[in-house]
Structure 1
């Protein structure tokens, strides 16, 4: 799978799936979660209500509705608490579970925001290392995934991703 960096608004990407850095209710919030819910329309909220939430580290999939992306994969990243509450393991699990759901849906292209890096306070460099490590893991035989985008909202984040991939 080819891993690339893209800077901009994840809701505008024409990929098979975008990943939503959601909260455990899956009912929308701030940051990328709120932006995805606004862009996808009220149908996304109705679909998420039926899922009845998602534990930290796990992922759920819905249609993309009004987004260019066919699917939204919702994952709940850990809130940073100093690193002693399994945060690295849970963040890695977000990427692994999102990729597995994408493969089960036949996804070829997927875009990830910086999970847990906003209000959840995950240290950026540590989060970038986990994201790159997980996306570079060999995929299972027969995987449909061909391309993963690490989406950065800021130039600083894009630079961290590019440095980690170099």
Structure 2
């Protein structure tokens, strides 16, 4: 059973089997981490993504990871945070579904080691504490099928927030 590991740094330098990438529904270059992945993957990644069907929010697709130190990219389209208004509950369900879909696809492809960013907490503006709770609930609940599940946060402050959520809601 994989222990969920929280770390911070440059996710694009980590070596594992698969990197989870926040995606646009047409699997085209987006903003933030998506833009960095496409910059490294170049034309080969663009061509691979063009072969994939549209990816609705909460679903996942897989491609090779051109130009990155991982074998695969697991693309998932995250919802937009709407500041906790009446649509906020739906966004939480969709964010949770992103993690579930990625893990389901990884199991189907027999991928045992994955690294995740803070899905939804970048350009889609989920507060880290909310994103962390959704992510950690799924990752801790489904970790038995994996050798390594890592969440790489962009800043030490985000890492501290995720660790606080983990200590409070998912004690060892």
Q: Structure 1 stretches of 5 or more lacking a match?
A: none
In structure 2, the residue matched to 1:163 is: 164
Partner of 2:170: none
Task: After TM superposition, give the deviation of residue 29 of structure 1 in Å.
Answer: 1.5
| Conservation of the 8 A alpha-carbon contact between 1:150 and 1:161 | no
Q: Which residue of structure 2 lines up, in the alignment, with residue 135 of structure 1?
A: 139
Structure 2 match to 1:104:
108
Matched residues in 2 for 1:138 and 1:30: separation?
29
Q: Which portions of structure 1, spanning 4 or more consecutive aligned residues, are displaced by more than 6 angstroms?
A: none
For residues 120 and 142 of structure 2, what CA distance do their matches in structure 1 show? 24
What is the RMSD computed on CA atoms of the aligned residues?
Answer: 1.4
Provide, for residues 75-114 of structure 1, a one-character-per-residue CA deviation record: whole Å limited to 9, x for no partner: 0010012343310100000000001111111112100111
Instruction: State the TM-score, normalizing by the size of structure 1.
Output: 0.92
Distance 1:47 1:77, change over 3 A: same
- The answer on whether the counterparts of 1:79 and 1:121 sit within 8 Å (CA) in structure 2 is yes
Matched, 1:115 2:116: no
| Distance change >3 Å, CA 138–CA 120, structure 1 → 2 | closer
Does residue 28 in structure 1 map to residue 18 in structure 2? no
Task: Note the residue ranges of structure 2 that are not aligned, 5 or more in a row.
Answer: 168-172
Secondary structure of residue in 1 paired with 2:106: helix
How far is the alpha carbon of 1:164 from its aligned partner? 2.2
Number of aligned positions between the proteins? 163
Offset, 1:41: 2.6
TM-score normalised by length of structure 2 = 0.89
Residue of structure 1 equivalent to 2:46: 45
